[in-house]
Amino acid sequence: MNSPLRSSELWATAADPELAVTTRGAVPPADVTRAVRGIGRVLRRHHLDAAARVRVTAPVDADEPTLVQANIRIHDTPTRVQVTGPRGFAVTFAVERLDRQIARLATKQSREWPDPARPPLARVTEPRPIARRKHCALLTGTPAEATAVLNAMDYDAYLFIDAETGEDAVVSWADSLGIRMARQRTTTAPEAAVDRPLTANSLSVLMDAQPAPTLIEEVAVTRLCRKGLPFLFFTDADTGRGRLLYRRYDGDLTIVVPVD
Protein backbone atom coordinates (compact mmCIF):
# COMPACT_ATOMS: atom_id res chain seq x y z
CA MET A 1 0.00 0.00 0.00
CA ASN A 2 1.36 3.42 -0.95
CA SER A 3 1.93 5.85 1.88
CA PRO A 4 0.70 9.45 1.51
CA LEU A 5 3.08 12.25 0.60
CA ARG A 6 3.48 14.34 3.72
CA SER A 7 5.98 17.01 2.72
CA SER A 8 5.83 19.62 0.00
CA GLU A 9 7.17 17.96 -3.15
CA LEU A 10 7.42 18.74 -6.86
CA TRP A 11 6.55 16.02 -9.35
CA ALA A 12 7.11 15.84 -13.11
CA THR A 13 7.37 13.01 -15.63
CA ALA A 14 9.42 12.39 -18.75
CA ALA A 15 6.20 12.02 -20.76
CA ASP A 16 4.94 15.47 -19.69
CA PRO A 17 8.03 17.51 -18.72
CA GLU A 18 6.06 20.79 -18.87
CA LEU A 19 3.39 19.53 -16.45
CA ALA A 20 4.51 19.79 -12.83
CA VAL A 21 2.52 18.89 -9.72
CA THR A 22 3.36 20.32 -6.31
CA THR A 23 1.90 18.54 -3.31
CA ARG A 24 1.37 19.95 0.15
CA GLY A 25 0.38 17.79 3.06
CA ALA A 26 -0.70 14.16 3.01
CA VAL A 27 -1.55 13.88 -0.69
CA PRO A 28 -1.99 10.27 -1.88
CA PRO A 29 0.29 9.33 -4.81
CA ALA A 30 -2.82 8.32 -6.76
CA ASP A 31 -3.90 11.98 -6.78
CA VAL A 32 -0.59 12.99 -8.35
CA THR A 33 -1.03 10.39 -11.07
CA ARG A 34 -4.63 11.48 -11.60
CA ALA A 35 -3.56 15.12 -11.94
CA VAL A 36 -0.79 14.42 -14.46
CA ARG A 37 -2.97 12.19 -16.62
CA GLY A 38 -6.10 14.34 -16.39
CA ILE A 39 -4.51 17.74 -17.03
CA GLY A 40 -2.35 16.32 -19.80
CA ARG A 41 -5.44 14.83 -21.46
CA VAL A 42 -7.26 18.19 -21.31
CA LEU A 43 -4.34 20.05 -22.88
CA ARG A 44 -4.09 17.52 -25.71
CA ARG A 45 -7.83 17.66 -26.33
CA HIS A 46 -7.65 21.43 -26.80
CA HIS A 47 -4.41 21.17 -28.83
CA LEU A 48 -2.49 23.29 -26.34
CA ASP A 49 1.27 23.00 -26.13
CA ALA A 50 1.48 24.82 -22.82
CA ALA A 51 3.25 24.40 -19.52
CA ALA A 52 0.97 23.55 -16.61
CA ARG A 53 1.54 23.94 -12.89
CA VAL A 54 -0.77 22.08 -10.53
CA ARG A 55 -0.86 22.37 -6.75
CA VAL A 56 -2.68 19.79 -4.63
CA THR A 57 -3.06 20.68 -0.96
CA ALA A 58 -4.37 18.10 1.47
CA PRO A 59 -5.90 19.32 4.74
CA VAL A 60 -4.59 18.35 8.15
CA ASP A 61 -8.07 17.07 9.01
CA ALA A 62 -8.97 14.24 6.64
CA ASP A 63 -12.63 15.27 6.81
CA GLU A 64 -11.84 18.69 5.30
CA PRO A 65 -11.72 19.16 1.50
CA THR A 66 -8.62 18.94 -0.66
CA LEU A 67 -7.68 22.10 -2.58
CA VAL A 68 -6.48 21.87 -6.19
CA GLN A 69 -5.21 24.75 -8.30
CA ALA A 70 -4.08 24.50 -11.93
CA ASN A 71 -2.29 27.27 -13.84
CA ILE A 72 -1.61 27.32 -17.58
CA ARG A 73 -1.06 29.90 -20.33
CA ILE A 74 -3.38 30.01 -23.33
CA HIS A 75 -1.69 31.93 -26.14
CA ASP A 76 0.26 34.03 -23.59
CA THR A 77 -2.84 34.62 -21.46
CA PRO A 78 -2.47 33.34 -17.86
CA THR A 79 -5.36 31.05 -16.96
CA ARG A 80 -6.19 29.39 -13.66
CA VAL A 81 -8.80 27.24 -11.98
CA GLN A 82 -9.16 26.53 -8.28
CA VAL A 83 -11.59 24.13 -6.69
CA THR A 84 -12.05 21.97 -3.59
CA GLY A 85 -13.48 18.52 -3.13
CA PRO A 86 -13.25 15.31 -1.12
CA ARG A 87 -10.01 13.38 -1.23
CA GLY A 88 -9.92 11.32 -4.40
CA PHE A 89 -12.42 13.58 -6.17
CA ALA A 90 -10.90 17.08 -5.94
CA VAL A 91 -8.39 16.46 -8.72
CA THR A 92 -11.14 15.14 -10.99
CA PHE A 93 -13.21 18.26 -10.25
CA ALA A 94 -10.22 20.48 -11.14
CA VAL A 95 -9.60 18.63 -14.41
CA GLU A 96 -13.24 19.03 -15.41
CA ARG A 97 -13.25 22.70 -14.43
CA LEU A 98 -10.09 23.39 -16.45
CA ASP A 99 -11.65 21.67 -19.47
CA ARG A 100 -14.72 23.92 -19.21
CA GLN A 101 -12.58 27.00 -18.56
CA ILE A 102 -10.52 26.53 -21.72
CA ALA A 103 -13.68 25.95 -23.77
CA ARG A 104 -15.33 29.07 -22.32
CA LEU A 105 -12.36 31.30 -23.01
CA ALA A 106 -12.08 30.01 -26.56
CA THR A 107 -15.66 31.13 -27.24
CA LYS A 108 -15.35 34.32 -25.10
CA GLN A 109 -18.00 33.20 -22.64
CA SER A 110 -18.05 34.38 -19.04
CA ARG A 111 -18.15 32.25 -15.94
CA GLU A 112 -21.55 31.40 -14.52
CA TRP A 113 -22.46 33.10 -11.27
CA PRO A 114 -23.52 32.04 -8.69
CA ASP A 115 -21.12 29.16 -9.18
CA PRO A 116 -22.56 25.90 -7.78
CA ALA A 117 -19.13 24.26 -7.92
CA ARG A 118 -17.51 26.94 -5.79
CA PRO A 119 -19.81 28.94 -3.52
CA PRO A 120 -18.45 32.16 -1.95
CA LEU A 121 -16.35 31.74 1.17
CA ALA A 122 -18.71 33.84 3.24
CA ARG A 123 -19.39 32.91 6.84
CA VAL A 124 -19.53 34.69 10.18
CA THR A 125 -16.52 33.93 12.38
CA GLU A 126 -14.35 35.53 14.97
CA PRO A 127 -11.45 37.55 13.44
CA ARG A 128 -8.99 35.25 11.69
CA PRO A 129 -5.29 35.89 11.01
CA ILE A 130 -3.91 37.18 7.72
CA ALA A 131 -1.97 34.09 6.63
CA ARG A 132 -0.65 35.51 3.36
CA ARG A 133 0.24 38.91 1.91
CA LYS A 134 0.25 39.04 -1.89
CA HIS A 135 2.33 42.03 -3.04
CA CYS A 136 1.22 42.63 -6.62
CA ALA A 137 1.96 45.11 -9.41
CA LEU A 138 -1.58 45.99 -10.42
CA LEU A 139 -3.00 46.11 -13.92
CA THR A 140 -3.88 49.64 -15.04
CA GLY A 141 -6.86 49.27 -17.32
CA THR A 142 -10.55 49.49 -18.03
CA PRO A 143 -13.34 47.54 -16.31
CA ALA A 144 -13.49 45.30 -19.40
CA GLU A 145 -9.77 44.49 -19.17
CA ALA A 146 -10.03 43.79 -15.44
CA THR A 147 -13.07 41.58 -15.99
CA ALA A 148 -11.15 39.56 -18.58
CA VAL A 149 -8.52 38.78 -15.93
CA LEU A 150 -11.23 38.03 -13.34
CA ASN A 151 -12.74 35.54 -15.76
CA ALA A 152 -9.56 33.87 -17.00
CA MET A 153 -8.04 33.47 -13.54
CA ASP A 154 -11.18 32.08 -11.90
CA TYR A 155 -11.13 34.85 -9.28
CA ASP A 156 -14.14 36.03 -7.31
CA ALA A 157 -12.76 39.58 -7.05
CA TYR A 158 -9.84 41.36 -8.75
CA LEU A 159 -7.92 44.45 -7.63
CA PHE A 160 -6.64 46.81 -10.36
CA ILE A 161 -6.00 50.50 -11.11
CA ASP A 162 -8.87 52.18 -12.92
CA ALA A 163 -7.33 53.87 -15.96
CA GLU A 164 -9.95 56.63 -16.05
CA THR A 165 -9.52 57.89 -12.47
CA GLY A 166 -6.15 56.48 -11.42
CA GLU A 167 -7.85 55.03 -8.32
CA ASP A 168 -7.46 51.50 -7.05
CA ALA A 169 -10.62 49.59 -7.89
CA VAL A 170 -12.18 46.14 -7.73
CA VAL A 171 -14.36 44.14 -10.10
CA SER A 172 -16.31 41.16 -8.77
CA TRP A 173 -19.14 38.87 -9.81
CA ALA A 174 -22.40 40.58 -8.93
CA ASP A 175 -24.94 37.97 -10.03
CA SER A 176 -25.83 36.03 -13.14
CA LEU A 177 -26.44 39.31 -15.00
CA GLY A 178 -23.29 41.29 -14.45
CA ILE A 179 -20.13 42.55 -12.81
CA ARG A 180 -19.86 44.90 -9.86
CA MET A 181 -17.19 47.60 -9.79
CA ALA A 182 -16.06 49.68 -6.82
CA ARG A 183 -13.48 52.47 -6.70
CA GLN A 184 -11.73 54.06 -3.75
CA ARG A 185 -13.53 57.40 -4.06
CA THR A 186 -15.38 57.92 -7.35
CA THR A 187 -18.88 56.41 -7.48
CA THR A 188 -20.08 57.85 -10.78
CA ALA A 189 -20.19 55.58 -13.81
CA PRO A 190 -17.18 55.62 -16.14
CA GLU A 191 -17.27 58.10 -19.02
CA ALA A 192 -17.86 55.25 -21.46
CA ALA A 193 -21.27 54.72 -19.84
CA VAL A 194 -22.57 58.27 -20.36
CA ASP A 195 -24.51 57.47 -23.52
CA ARG A 196 -25.06 53.75 -23.03
CA PRO A 197 -24.88 51.16 -20.24
CA LEU A 198 -21.36 50.05 -19.42
CA THR A 199 -20.57 46.45 -20.28
CA ALA A 200 -17.56 44.19 -19.90
CA ASN A 201 -17.31 40.92 -21.80
CA SER A 202 -21.01 41.32 -22.73
CA LEU A 203 -21.93 41.63 -19.05
CA SER A 204 -23.44 44.75 -17.52
CA VAL A 205 -21.23 46.60 -15.02
CA LEU A 206 -22.93 47.81 -11.84
CA MET A 207 -21.18 50.70 -10.10
CA ASP A 208 -21.01 50.52 -6.31
CA ALA A 209 -22.86 53.51 -4.89
CA GLN A 210 -20.48 53.81 -1.94
CA PRO A 211 -16.75 54.58 -2.00
CA ALA A 212 -14.39 52.09 -0.42
CA PRO A 213 -14.20 52.55 3.36
CA THR A 214 -10.93 53.83 4.82
CA LEU A 215 -9.79 51.35 7.47
CA ILE A 216 -6.78 50.02 9.29
CA GLU A 217 -6.10 46.32 8.71
CA GLU A 218 -7.32 45.17 12.11
CA VAL A 219 -10.70 46.83 11.61
CA ALA A 220 -10.97 45.43 8.06
CA VAL A 221 -10.32 41.90 9.36
CA THR A 222 -12.95 42.27 12.06
CA ARG A 223 -15.50 43.67 9.61
CA LEU A 224 -15.00 40.88 7.06
CA CYS A 225 -15.17 38.09 9.61
CA ARG A 226 -18.00 39.30 11.80
CA LYS A 227 -20.17 40.34 8.84
CA GLY A 228 -19.52 37.08 7.02
CA LEU A 229 -18.17 38.74 3.87
CA PRO A 230 -16.36 36.73 1.16
CA PHE A 231 -14.03 39.69 0.53
CA LEU A 232 -13.59 43.33 1.49
CA PHE A 233 -12.21 46.16 -0.66
CA PHE A 234 -10.97 49.09 1.41
CA THR A 235 -8.53 52.00 1.41
CA ASP A 236 -5.64 51.47 3.79
CA ALA A 237 -5.61 54.32 6.31
CA ASP A 238 -1.80 54.36 6.48
CA THR A 239 -0.84 54.27 2.79
CA GLY A 240 -3.96 55.54 1.01
CA ARG A 241 -3.85 52.59 -1.39
CA GLY A 242 -6.60 50.08 -2.02
CA ARG A 243 -6.48 46.66 -0.42
CA LEU A 244 -8.38 43.45 -1.19
CA LEU A 245 -8.93 41.20 1.81
CA TYR A 246 -10.50 37.79 1.32
CA ARG A 247 -11.03 34.47 3.07
CA ARG A 248 -9.00 31.39 2.18
CA TYR A 249 -10.32 27.85 2.02
CA ASP A 250 -8.69 27.04 5.36
CA GLY A 251 -10.63 29.89 7.00
CA ASP A 252 -7.68 32.26 7.40
CA LEU A 253 -7.29 35.42 5.32
CA THR A 254 -5.20 36.73 2.42
CA ILE A 255 -4.64 40.40 1.64
CA VAL A 256 -3.62 41.77 -1.77
CA VAL A 257 -1.23 44.74 -1.42
CA PRO A 258 -0.38 46.94 -4.44
CA VAL A 259 3.27 47.63 -5.21
CA ASP A 260 4.63 50.26 -7.59
- pLDDT tens across 12-31, in order? 665 666 899 999 998 999 99
Q: Which of the four pLDDT bands, split at 50, 70 and 90, describes residue 1?
A: very low
Residue 213 has pLDDT above 90, yes or no: yes
Residue that wins the pLDDT comparison between 5 and 101: 101
Q: Which of the four pLDDT bands, split at 50, 70 and 90, describes residue 83?
A: very high
Mean pLDDT of 26-43: 93
What is the predicted pLDDT for the residue at 3?
A: 45
Q: Which of the four pLDDT bands, split at 50, 70 and 90, describes residue 5?
A: very low
**HEC secondary structure over the chain:** CCCCECCCEEECCCCCCCEEEEEECCECHHHHHHHHHHHHHHHHHCCCCCCEEEEEECCCCCCCCEEEEEEEEECCEEEEEEEEECCCCHHHHHHHHHHHHHHHHHCCCCCCCCCCCCCCCCCCCCCCCEEEEEEEECCEECHHHHHHHHHHCCCCEEEEEECCCCCEEEEEEEECCEEEEEECCCCCCCHHHCCCCCEECCEEEEECCCCCCEECHHHHHHHHHHHCCCEEEEEECCCCCEEEEEECCCCCEEEEEEEC
Residue 67 has pLDDT above 80, yes or no: yes
- pLDDT tens across 90-149, in order? 999 999 999 999 999 998 888 888 888 777 789 999 999 999 999 999 999 999 999 999
Residue that wins the pLDDT comparison between 151 and 191: 151
Q: Give the rounded percent of residues in the chain with a pLDDT score beyond 90.
A: 68
Mean pLDDT of 82-87: 92
Mean pLDDT of the chain: 89
- pLDDT tens across 172-207, in order? 998 766 899 999 999 987 766 555 556 666 778 889
What is the predicted pLDDT for the residue at 114?
A: 81
Residue 73 has pLDDT above 70, yes or no: yes
